[in-house]
Structure 1
Amino acid sequence: MPLEERHTAANIADWIEEVIVKFNIPPEKIKAVVHDNGANVVAATKILHAKHGYEPVTCAGHTLNLVVQNSLKSQQAISRCVGAARTLVEHFKKSELASTKLKVKQRNMGTKENMLLQDVCTRWNSTYAMLTRLQEQRWPVTATLSDPEVTQRGKHYLDLKPDQWGLIEELNQVLEPFHSATVLMSGEQYVTLSSLPHVVDKIKKLLQNLESPPVVSFQTHAKEQVTTRWKNLGEFKPESPNITLLAASLDPRFRKLKFLPADQVFGVKNTLQTMALAVKQQVRPTGSRNETSSTAEGTPSAA
């Protein structure tokens, strides 16, 4: 069911309602709508929340990628370094001679014969993949670029400077938690919503300052981005329950809610118990009637 009209918030909201009807999804079974960070999509989820109470849940993978990409651009030295790495990889992708020579150097040095990877800013974790692969292939790449058959005189600028290689190594350390979090939150064979508060809390704690000023700046910016983009994640109001925290409370791995202050934990647990009691009271009359009926059927009639 493609949306053929303009992708305005109202049209998107109407389209989602049509999809719900078309696939016979009981509206009362819908608790949340997962969405990306597009302004029109965010506005559409607000419309659905106002009309039906569907809770908007931002896609964790998309949000983490935005945090990483924005933070990489926030520091000039890092931005230049990533740009230089991108240019270097692109050179090997376009040059058959360079890529062939790289394989020879890899064999001679006993390095894994892995291809260099080009990043795409909209593809999750691709910048991390590019930088980790470059770090792995640093010496074969450097040796290849030093070969006069590959690099013409005056084009040695393609190779990264020692401080840039060092920066890449540090960047890989701080990007690794984002990579792991994205992989975890992109899972399709297990529940992910309940993991989100724990994952966000862990990322904040793992963003420890390293020595390099550019990386320190990256970490500071990334932490601010994570805090801002998930500013309501740790807030819980009984009158408007946070379904992410409720999900975490039901997950055996996170049910103690260690990432929340004690008063918030009490609020979540209390609300959950109230909800469970309400469900139990709704189910009990039906169960009682069935039990009575079964007893009556099993009672022998008087002779």
Structure 2
Amino acid sequence: MQSFALTVSKTEERHYAEACADHFLNVANEWEIKDKVTTLGTDSARNMVAAARLLPFEHMPCMAHILQSAITVSLNDNAFESALAKCRKIVGHFKHSPANAQELKAQQPAHGHQTEPLDQDVPTRWNSTLEMIKRIQRNKSVLTTILTQQNSKICYRTAGGGERYVSCSMVLPALCHLFWVMEPLDDDPVYAVKFKIVFTTDLAQRRASSNLTWLKIATALDPRFKDLKCLSKDERREVWASVHDLLMAETDAHQPSAQTTEEPSPKKSKMSISLLGSPDSDTEEEEDAIDCCLNLYKAEPKIDTGECPLQWWLKREGAHARLAPIARKYLSTPATTVPCERLFSLSGHIIQKKRASLSSDNVNRIVCLSNWLSAQKD
């Protein structure tokens, strides 16, 4: 799946929900895609959520933003918060001083390390805290040597703080694998138990703002994960019932109305038609056809996680003609707006103090061209 930037627009009014909704519609009308748009992905900001309610699209909150917010809350409310604060001081010591940054760059090859800057974590940037600690760990000997030579007040370790730092470095690499095993285990240390409890509690509160129904249907229509092992048996039945209802609604939408298809005929002809078949029998036949369609898809073998589900549906569109359009609709909806968020970073690199006179049109052209060219290379 690929993403493309359509525009970067300058706004001078306050970002109220109505103004944001108008901007979305203006972009859709400008690119003539309003009738093709099915979903609108945003972060969980209140004005964005309110704007989505004003638009005729399905709203898909960014799941990466929701997870990252829950992780940030869990990290701040834990025993290793002081260790993270110490890591940020170390990073700031080298990032805010060109002389210290140059010394770090010179010392890294001497200690057999790859030349790399330290990374500062940002609450809204995915995995940034993990990356910050990884880089500090990799350059442990270099940082210790430089800080000792400088007699810096920022020491790499202190009594008690070092233990928190070690515990922090042990729990963070496991964050990406803990989302489906967040139940506290008997052999978990205290800090890990507290992290899991806070994380699951905070994430449960955010479930109401996430479009889980859409995501579950998309998972069922993904030939990589259609067994729905991530859900309980009751939830699986609910998901397949939802897919069944979608097929029924799609069938009803494409069926011509009785008023337009029926032609005036003698009473005897109408009576014979009513004897041959009734609305109930037609509905039962349609139900059986839909069940057959779903069973045919369920019988298909799963594909590897590295394969493209949209390509799979494209090749088998003939065998699953009724289900393929619904699958394309749900699978083409990204569950995250990370590519859009990266445009903020790209725009920040372009609009600087020395380029403050750039017009909004030129910024739009530069950002879009950069995005399109990078997508073409990939």
Q: Which deviations, in whole Å up to 9, do the C-alpha atoms of 1:22-49 show, x marking residues without a partner?
A: 221243x43321111111111111233x
Match of 2:217 in 1: 246
Q: CA deviation at 1:249?
A: 0.5
Checking the alignment, whether the CA contact within 8 Å between 1:33 and 1:55 is kept in structure 2 is: yes
Of 57, 63, 66, the residue aligned with 2:66 is 63
The amino acid that maps onto 2:138 is E
Matching of residue 11 in structure 1 with residue 14 in structure 2 = no
Q: Secondary structure at the residue paired with 1:203? A: coil
Query: 1:255 and 1:100, CA in 2 relative to 1: closer, same or farther beyond 3 A?
Result: same
Checking the alignment, whether the CA contact within 8 Å between 1:204 and 1:223 is kept in structure 2 is: no
In angstroms, what is the RMSD of aligned CA positions?
A: 3.1
Match of 2:242 in 1: 271
Mapping 1:73-84, distance limit 5 Å: 73-75=76-78, 77-84=79-86
Checking the alignment, whether the CA contact within 8 Å between 1:85 and 1:131 is kept in structure 2 is: yes
Matching of residue 125 in structure 1 with residue 151 in structure 2 = no
Matching of residue 259 in structure 1 with residue 249 in structure 2 = no
Checking the alignment, whether the CA contact within 8 Å between 1:248 and 1:257 is kept in structure 2 is: yes
Checking the alignment, whether the CA contact within 8 Å between 2:147 and 2:154 is kept in structure 1 is: no
Mapping 1:52-201, distance limit 5 Å: 52=56, 54-75=57-78, 77-96=79-98, 98-103=100-105, 105-147=107-149, 150-151=150-151, 155-161=152-158, 163-176=160-173, 178=175, 180=176
Match of 1:196 in 2: none
Checking the alignment, whether the CA contact within 8 Å between 2:68 and 2:126 is kept in structure 1 is: yes
Q: CA deviation at 1:103?
A: 4.8
Checking the alignment, whether the CA contact within 8 Å between 2:219 and 2:228 is kept in structure 1 is: yes
Of 191, 195, 198, the residue aligned with 1:214 is 191
Matching of residue 226 in structure 1 with residue 203 in structure 2 = yes
CA distance in 2, matches of 1:168, 1:207: 23
Query: 1:273 and 1:40, CA in 2 relative to 1: closer, same or farther beyond 3 A?
Result: same
User: How many matched pairs?
Assistant: 247
CA distance in 2, matches of 1:222, 1:69: 9
Q: Which deviations, in whole Å up to 9, do the C-alpha atoms of 1:60-82 show, x marking residues without a partner?
A: 2222221222222213x422221
Query: 1:232 and 1:264, CA in 2 relative to 1: closer, same or farther beyond 3 A?
Result: farther
The amino acid that maps onto 2:18 is A
CA distance in 2, matches of 1:280, 1:173: 53
Match of 1:205 in 2: 181
Q: CA deviation at 1:204?
A: 3.8
The amino acid that maps onto 2:76 is K
Query: 1:101 and 1:225, CA in 2 relative to 1: closer, same or farther beyond 3 A?
Result: same
Q: Which deviations, in whole Å up to 9, do the C-alpha atoms of 1:219-255 show, x marking residues without a partner?
A: 32122222222257696xxxxxx22111111001221
The amino acid that maps onto 1:228 is Q
Q: Secondary structure at the residue paired with 1:33? A: strand
Q: Which has the higher contact order (CA 8 A, sep 6+)?
A: 2
Q: TM-score scaled to structure 2, two decimals? A: 0.56
Checking the alignment, whether the CA contact within 8 Å between 1:249 and 1:268 is kept in structure 2 is: yes
CA distance in 2, matches of 1:207, 1:160: 31
Q: Secondary structure at the residue paired with 2:237? A: helix
Query: 1:164 and 1:267, CA in 2 relative to 1: closer, same or farther beyond 3 A?
Result: same
* Structure 2: gaps (5+ residues): 1-8, 257-378
